[in-house]
Amino acid sequence: MALSNSQYNAVMRGYEERQRLQRRAMEARTQEVYKKIPQIQELDRQISSRAADCARRVLGGDTKAREHLKEDLADLKEQKLTLLKAAGYPADYMELRYDCPDCQDTGYANGKRCHCFERQRLNILYAQSNIEAVLKEENFDHLRFDFYDDTEKVPQLGMTERAYMEVVVRQCREFAQQYPDKGNSILFTGGTGVGKTFLTNCIAKELIDRCISVIYLSSNELFEIFSKYKFGRDSEEDVEESYRYILDCDMLIIDDLGTELNNSFVSSQLFYCINERIGRKKGTIISTNLSMGMLKDTYSDRVTSRIMSNYRVIPLYGADIRMKKRATRL
């Protein structure tokens, strides 16, 4: 997803500010040199004067003016360089410097966005995901299987919890690496602490690292934004922007669906959100403690139908991993 106009403008203003600061720093270094070596100031004056004279001569039809200027400037610059070195300054001390030499602090190199621009874009995507700090710990690199039982087979699966989770994690990795080619949306179901949120965060980090925009919201946060947008008396620009972004970001994560206070408004907005994002071909990951039957009873047939028709449903099994982790620390 491209940056919004305001985000793009903020990035470009940052480049303009860097250029301004670098010009100011160059001017300060130049004045320092002029004060210490007045001859260099005179040489710079001669360089400017001869360049202006050359321009006048070219306009007057002198075809050899540029060639003569090139010879004169080479001689003056050599004198300048000799004086700088004699005073202990590096050859480029009076030149303009850049934070990123590749694009010269413009954001673009060879007609394409520079790597420094893409790094800033990635930072913005992380910041607006709503889980930037969490993703430093909850990602595929930190995922462990040793908290899943590998001794008894789960009747519904015909395999152990650990073996099943290894399959699920492999599927999630493929989904994140190949999104949206491997499907757009996932529904994680299962009890508390079985790894639903951890897996959504793992996927989120992989997507953001591919410069895919992600926003994470608990179900309570999601419906609070919808409520403020629909019923807020004051027109809050940030609420409107959040509402639009929920519908248009590349990947929306709704965590703990079913923990919010449910009513007809919540059910209708959930259907609208799911349906709208399907129509826009945008991905959604939902985690919930509710079974498919409970989802149907809590919301509506049409919500459940849209999920069943368009989402990959991944049930998770096992005991509360968070309780196991706490027990190991005791």
Last residue of a domain, one of 51, 80, 113: 113
Domain hosting residue 66, numbered range: 5-113
Both 71 and 133 in a single domain?
no
Last residue of a domain, one of 113, 142, 157: 113
| Residue at 186 is within a domain | yes
Helices (H), the chain: 5-36, 38-59, 65-86, 115-128, 161-178, 196-209, 219-231, 237-248, 264-279, 292-298, 301-310, 321-329
Q: What angle do CA 124, 254, 241 make, to 5 degrees?
A: 45
- Amino acid at the residue 306: R
| Residue at 119 is within a domain | no
The whole-number pLDDT of residue 323 equals 61
Block residue for tokens 């001689």 = 75
Q: Single out the residue of 223, 261, 268, 264 nearest to residue 242, CA to CA.
A: 223
Question: Could you tell me the CA-to-CA distances from 57 to 53, 60, 75 in Å, in that order?
Answer: 6, 5, 20
The whole-number pLDDT of residue 330 equals 44
Last residue of a domain, one of 61, 82, 113: 113
Both 315 and 168 in a single domain?
yes
Distance CA 310, CA 187 (A): 10
Residue 91: phi, psi to the nearest 5?
-60, -30
> Taking a C-beta distance cutoff of 8 angstroms, is the pair 161, 286 a contact?
no
Both 204 and 316 in a single domain?
yes
- Amino acid at the residue 248: D
The whole-number pLDDT of residue 240 equals 82
Question: Could you tell me the CA-to-CA distances from 166 to 143, 150, 191, 257, 286 in Å, in that order?
Answer: 11, 11, 18, 25, 20
Both 314 and 217 in a single domain?
yes
> Taking a C-beta distance cutoff of 8 angstroms, is the pair 290, 320 a contact?
no
Both 217 and 107 in a single domain?
no
Both 145 and 59 in a single domain?
no
The secondary structure of 167-230 as a DSSP string is HHHHHHHHHHHHTTTT-SEEEEE-STTSSHHHHHHHHHHHHHHTT--EEEEEHHHHHHHHHHHH
| Residue at 210 is within a domain | yes
| Residue at 39 is within a domain | yes
| Residue at 123 is within a domain | no
- Classify 37 in phi/psi space as left (phi over 0), alpha (psi -120 to 50) or beta: beta
**Chunked mean pLDDT (size 10), the chain, 330 residues:** 77 94 96 95 89 81 77 87 94 93 94 88 82 88 87 88 93 94 89 91 93 90 91 68 87 94 92 95 95 90 93 87 58
Q: What angle do CA 159, 200, 5 make, to 5 degrees?
A: 155
Both 66 and 172 in a single domain?
no
Both 60 and 99 in a single domain?
yes
Both 202 and 304 in a single domain?
yes
Could you tell me the CATH number of the domain that includes residue 303?
A: 3.40.50.300
State pLDDT tens for residues 236-270: 667 887 888 899 889 999 999 999 988 999 999 99
Distance CA 229, CA 132 (A): 25
| Residue at 122 is within a domain | no
Helix axes 65-86, 38-59, angle to 10 degrees: 170
| Residue at 118 is within a domain | no
Both 178 and 299 in a single domain?
yes
Both 82 and 148 in a single domain?
no
The whole-number pLDDT of residue 324 equals 60
> Taking a C-beta distance cutoff of 8 angstroms, is the pair 125, 117 a contact?
no
Counting the structural domains of the chain, the total is 2
| Residue at 76 is within a domain | yes
Both 9 and 43 in a single domain?
yes
The whole-number pLDDT of residue 329 equals 52
> Taking a C-beta distance cutoff of 8 angstroms, is the pair 29, 94 a contact?
yes
